[in-house]
Every structure is written in C-alpha cells, then in structure tokens.
Structure 1
Amino acid sequence: MTTISLTSTTIKNMFDELNQNFNGNLSIGVKEHVLDIDNEFGKGRIRGITFKSGISLLEFDVKFLQDFTLLAGTSKNPPICFAYCLKGKVSHSFGSQQAKNTLENFQTGILTNRAFEENRLYFEKDEHVKISLIVVKTSSNQNILKQHNLNYRIQKSFINGDRPKNSIYVGSYNLKIADKIQQLEAIQQRGIVRSLMIEGLVHMILAHEIQQHSDDLKNRSFNRGNLNSKEMDIIRKISIDIQNSPEAQHCISTLSRLSGLAPGKLQEGFKLMHGTTVSDYIRAVRVEKAEELIKTSDLNISEVVYSVGFTSRSYFSKIFRQKYNCSPKEYKVHQQLMSLSA
C-alpha cells in the first residue's frame, strides 16, 4: 500500500506535493492545475481549480496500480467538502482508528471535521475512480466570511456553533450531478471564458449537492428507486447517446431492447436523472441541437428540422417557439442580422 501525506490546504502547494510524490506531468493554467500520471503508481489525471469566492474544485480521474491512501490535514478553520463519485468507489475515515464510510458511483457526500483533524481517502488497487470534491472555505471571522455570501450561508447551514464536528453524510444516488460533471468535462474554451464556465457549473453542482441533502433529510429514507448503480450507469450512457445522435429515431421500445432495461425502469431512470420522461428528454435535446444548427450552419429551417430527427416542421416550430419565444425563421433572421452588423 502507498500512503501520501499532504501538508498544505492550498491548491498550488497541494499539487506541488502530489507531483513530488507521483512524479507526473504538472501543467498550470488560469488558476487550474492538472497532474497527469502514467507510471508505476497508476494512470489518470488529478485536476484542481480555485476561485475567488473561496471555493475550490478537486477532481480525481485515476486508476492506481496499488492500494493507495491519501492523508490530508486541515487547518484551524476546516473547509466543508461536497463530494460526488461518478465512477468506482472511495472510502474515507477521520484519522486511522475510526470507521470507514464508502462513497459509491452516483452517490453524494458532505464532510465536515474538527480543526486540525486528519482525513484519509482510500483508493483500491485497479479501481477506476472518478470523484469530484468541491471544497468550501470557512472562517471564524464572520465579517470576513460575509464578504463571500455563499460561503457564509453554507457554513451557517452545515456547521452548527463555533466548533465544527467530525461528520460525514453519504446521500442517495443523483444522476443530475453526473450530467453536470459531464458538461464540466466537455468545456473546450480557454482563458477567462473557461474559468467562468467552470465556476458556473461548479456552483450548479454545489446547488444540486445541497438540494440532495435537503431532500434526503425530508424523505429520511433515501430515494434510490428500484434501480441499482449498474442500471443507472446504463441510463447515463443512453442519455449521452441521445445527445450525440439526436437525429436517430429513438423510442422507448428500441432503447429498452438495446439497453436490456424494461420500459418502466427507463422512465424511472430518466425521471431521476433529468426530471422528465424519455420522450420529453429526446425532444428537448433535439430542439437544443436545432437551435445550435440554426445559429452556426447554412442549413435552411427544413433541413435543420429533419437533420435533428423531427418529422414535422410545424410541430418543430411550435415547440421551438415555446422554448425560445420566437419562431425558427425569426431566430435565423436575427442571427443573420447580427452577423452582418458584427
């Protein structure tokens, strides 16, 4: 087993320590640190980003070739950590003597701990793990904390009193967060645009985490439905296929046959992940793809309609207007005028 101790809580120093231990390839962008590993320790990527708001994002997308334990200490004002496991599983304990809690794929977790408490993350050998950690800075100085209103409100919600306690909440499955993380991974922009897009999605993921916690407290019995994690992973893959090929004639019976999931489980999975039915999700993806094509291609409206899988132009115009408050033709004319004036 390999054990690595991190002595710093800042992203910059943390990645310097990780690089010294893993001997990987460290690249630094606009407040974004990326460590690529491909050696005897394992293969994958660790990414860290910090924002002015006092919120940081730490992502592991790795497969270690041996059991690995990461030790991370905290400061006088330990942060609040919101975790989401997209793939595999990771275990955690406070120090070496306390019980482990395991976060499996599609599960959320929220962690608070005492000042200067040691956290231990356990990664199993040959387990491909993808986990995102959103770390929210806290402070004992309320005046400083109130400068970042979001941090102030989160601290008030999850730390009762002046002295935080060791606590870990492992929540129910949530596929909506997986969808947002997928969007996070798909960002191709550079510079300040990239930073703003990442920060916006991180805030959305954080909102989903907090909402999940609130819903679980209300329900008390975690709502995982009748789907296991393998079936939920299938739902996620189907969603990606629909996004990549909206023009295909997707339907419940075809998706059920290809996935091996009963129609009822398909509907339940889409309700959990997207809050809508399969057919409504397909329609929404097609409309968004059509809007992109109208804006960026030379296709006429009829060509756009059929290229994204719709069979009726009048029906497409109706739902396009419902979403964008104008007709496809009006939208295209507006885009053309914008191009001419640019």
Structure 2
Amino acid sequence: MKSIYLKAGKAQDVFNELKKSLKGTLTLNNEEYNLAMESDFVKGNIEGIAFQEGMTYMQFDLVFSDDVMLSMESFKAPPILFAYCSEGALRHSFGVNGDKKSLKKYNSGVLKSTTSINSILYFEKNIPIKFSIIGVGTDTIANGQNNDLIKKLKNTFLNKKENYLDIRFQNFKIAEKIEEFNTINQTGIVRNLLKKGILQIILAMEIEQHTDSFTKISQAITCLTLKQIDEIKRISNFIINFPAEQFTIKFLAQKTGLSPNKLQEGFKLVHNRTVNDFITFMRIEKAEDLIRTSDLNISEIVYSIGFTSRSYFSKIFKQKYNCSPKDYKYNQNSVAKTA
C-alpha cells in the first residue's frame, strides 16, 4: 500500500501538495483548479474551486494501480465536510487505528473531526472512484459572522461528538444539483456566481435533510438495490432523450426488469415524481427549450413532444412558467429583438 500525506492549507496549498504527490499537471483557470494525472500509478482528474465565504468544492475522478492510504492533516479549525460518491467506493477512518467506514456508490457522508487527529482515506487498486467533497470552514474570521447559512451549518453539525461521520443513502435531489454544478457552461464571473449559488443550495438541503422527517425517508430507501436504482436512472435518461414517445408503465417496467410498483417507487425516490409526472415534466422542459430555440409554432411543438391536446399542454405549461406558451414565446422574441 502506498501512503500519501496531505498537509492542511488553502485550496492552492492542497492542490500543490496533490501535484507533488501524484505527479500530475496542475492548471488554474478562473479560480478553478484542475490536476490531470496520467501515470503508471494513477490516472484521472481532481478539480476544485474555493470561495471567500469558506466554501470549497473538490471532485475526484481517478483510478490507482496500487492500494492507497491518503492521510489528511487536521486543521486548527476543522471544516465540516460533505462527501458524495457516484462511482466505486472508498473507506475512511479517524487516524490509522480508527474504525473504517465505507462510502459506496450512492452514499453520502458528513464528517467533522477534532484538531488533533488526521482523516484517512483508503482507495483500492484498479477500482475507478468518483466522488465529490464540499468543505465549509468553521473559522468565524474566514467566513464571517453574518453568514446565516454558515451559522445554521454550525448549529446543525458542530454540536456532534468530537469525531463524527454519518454515512447514509444519497439524497438524489442533491445529486442532481452536483451534476448541475459540474455541467455549468458559462464562463467568467457568471460561472463562479452560478457555482457559488448551487453550493449554497446544496448546503441548505443538507441542513434540511438532517431532520427526523428525512430519517424516515432514508429508512424507506433501503428496499431498492443499487442495480434497481441504476435501472431507474437509465430509463429516466431514455425518457429524457425521447420525450415524444407514448410510454406506458408496462413498457417501462419490462424495459427495466422491475415490477410496476418498484418502478413507481424508484421514480419517487430518484425524482420525487411518479412515472407519468416525470414524463410530463420532461415534455414541458423540452417544449420550453423548443419555444426558445426553434422556429416551430406552438401547435407544432405540442405534437412534436408527444402531447395530443393543446389545451392540456397550455394548462400545465402555465402552471410551471406562470404564463401561456404563446405569451412565453412572444416574450422570448421581444427579448431577442432588443438584445
């Protein structure tokens, strides 16, 4: 097993340490770090960005050719860390002699440690791993006394016992936000503002989900296997790519190998919607995109996305966008003319 020691520090220091240990190519663009690695020992990328408010985001997408133990030096004021695993698995312990807990695919974890003990991450060789970490500084000087979100995070998580690691099933709403964060196409200050806003939403969702009501939801999740969740995600992407198809519950259940009840259960878990509600939602999303980007009239759009009733389409479109499709198209055209 190869051991790597990572000193505590700011984002720049951390990435420089990683570059030194992993022998990668480090670039900095618009305050975003990217460490690309292509060696016999490790392949992949580590990306990250830090904000003045004490928030840091890092994404790891890599595979090691040897077992690895990564020891992270403790901070004077240890941050609250939120971890999300989307592929593979890793283990964590407080110190080399501490109990090891696994963070697996579709798991998330909340971690807070003391100032006197390192956090250790363990990676298995030849196993691709993809996970994200959001760090929130607990130093009041660094993130300001007037940040209500930081205060709520501290009140929620800093009252835990000294070394605290809570691993549970991933909240898929948060997973969608992370995906949204990672696929932002804008550049410059707009990109940074969007990323900062999404991180703040994720942290607010973390506060909300660590309640008794979310615990009940978590208990219900365990009746679905990882394979079944993968099937739900796969068929969801199929619906997104072909929204005009006249899908039936029977067809989708057969395509996933799930029973109709399991299919509905999975959609409620992953999307917080029934199957039919999800299909309708994606059609409306597609319609909005076509109104903005195509020359099709409203009737053509209605039938191109699988609706058979223009009045029904107009009703549910107005529920989502607070205006009729016709008015929405007119407003979009007006904006385009004045741009």
- Fold match by TM threshold 0.5: yes
Change (3 A) 1:236 1:178: farther
Determine the structure 1 residue equivalent to 2:145: 146
Determine the structure 1 residue equivalent to 2:131: 131
C-alpha displacement of 1:139 = 2.1
8 Å CA contact retained: 1:175, 1:272: yes
8 Å CA contact retained: 2:8, 2:75: no
Q: Find 1:300's aligned residue among 291, 297, 300.
A: 297
8 Å CA contact retained: 1:171, 1:212: no
Larger mean CA deviation between 126-135 and 35-44 belongs to: 35-44
For structure 2, list consecutive stretches of 5 or more residues without a partner in the other structure: none
The residue type equivalent to 2:158 in the other structure is: I
Residue aligned with 1:337, SS: helix
Matched, 1:112 2:112: yes
Change (3 A) 1:250 1:207: farther
Superimposed CA distance per residue, residues 265-322 of structure 1 (whole angstroms, 9 cap, x where no aligned partner): 1111111112110110111111012112101221111222222222222221111111
Tell me the C-alpha RMSD between the 2 structures. Answer: 2.1
CA distance in 1, matches of 2:63, 2:236: 25
8 Å CA contact retained: 1:112, 1:159: yes
Q: How many residues align?
A: 339
CA distance in 2, matches of 1:127, 1:278: 34
Matched, 1:315 2:281: no
Determine the structure 1 residue equivalent to 2:173: 176
Determine the structure 1 residue equivalent to 2:45: 45
C-alpha displacement of 1:72 = 0.6
C-alpha displacement of 1:178 = 2.3
The residue type equivalent to 2:269 in the other structure is: L
The residue type equivalent to 2:20 in the other structure is: Q
CA distance in 1, matches of 2:27, 2:245: 40
Change (3 A) 1:213 1:76: same
CA distance in 2, matches of 1:144, 1:29: 23
Determine the structure 2 residue equivalent to 1:195: 192
CA distance in 2, matches of 1:65, 1:320: 51
Residue aligned with 2:220, SS: coil
CA distance in 2, matches of 1:236, 1:202: 23
Superimposed CA distance per residue, residues 138-187 of structure 1 (whole angstroms, 9 cap, x where no aligned partner): 0266x9641333212211221129xx711111123432222222222222
8 Å CA contact retained: 1:85, 1:130: yes
Larger mean CA deviation between 251-260 and 283-292 belongs to: 251-260
C-alpha displacement of 1:88 = 1.4
Within a 5 Å distance, the mapping from 1:1-342 to structure 2 comes to 1-139=1-139, 145-160=144-159, 165-215=162-212, 218-219=215-216, 222-342=219-339
8 Å CA contact retained: 1:171, 1:216: no
C-alpha displacement of 1:249 = 2.9
CA distance in 2, matches of 1:80, 1:192: 26
State the TM-score, normalizing by the size of structure 2.
Answer: 0.93
8 Å CA contact retained: 1:138, 1:145: no
8 Å CA contact retained: 1:317, 1:328: yes
8 Å CA contact retained: 1:84, 1:108: yes
Change (3 A) 1:185 1:313: same
Change (3 A) 1:126 1:219: same
The residue type equivalent to 2:119 in the other structure is: N
CA distance in 2, matches of 1:216, 1:65: 42
C-alpha displacement of 1:331 = 1.0
Superimposed CA distance per residue, residues 198-221 of structure 1 (whole angstroms, 9 cap, x where no aligned partner): 222222222333333224775397
8 Å CA contact retained: 1:77, 1:140: no
The residue type equivalent to 1:42 in the other structure is: V
8 Å CA contact retained: 1:3, 1:71: yes
8 Å CA contact retained: 2:84, 2:170: no
Superimposed CA distance per residue, residues 86-112 of structure 1 (whole angstroms, 9 cap, x where no aligned partner): 111111001100110111111121101
For structure 1, list consecutive stretches of 5 or more residues without a partner in the other structure: none
8 Å CA contact retained: 1:145, 1:152: no
Change (3 A) 1:253 1:185: farther
Superimposed CA distance per residue, residues 102-142 of structure 1 (whole angstroms, 9 cap, x where no aligned partner): 1111112110111142000111112221111110100266x
CA distance in 1, matches of 2:240, 2:233: 11
CA distance in 1, matches of 2:68, 2:53: 31
Identity %: 43
Residue aligned with 1:184, SS: helix
8 Å CA contact retained: 1:50, 1:56: yes
The residue type equivalent to 2:150 in the other structure is: N
CA distance in 1, matches of 2:26, 2:213: 39
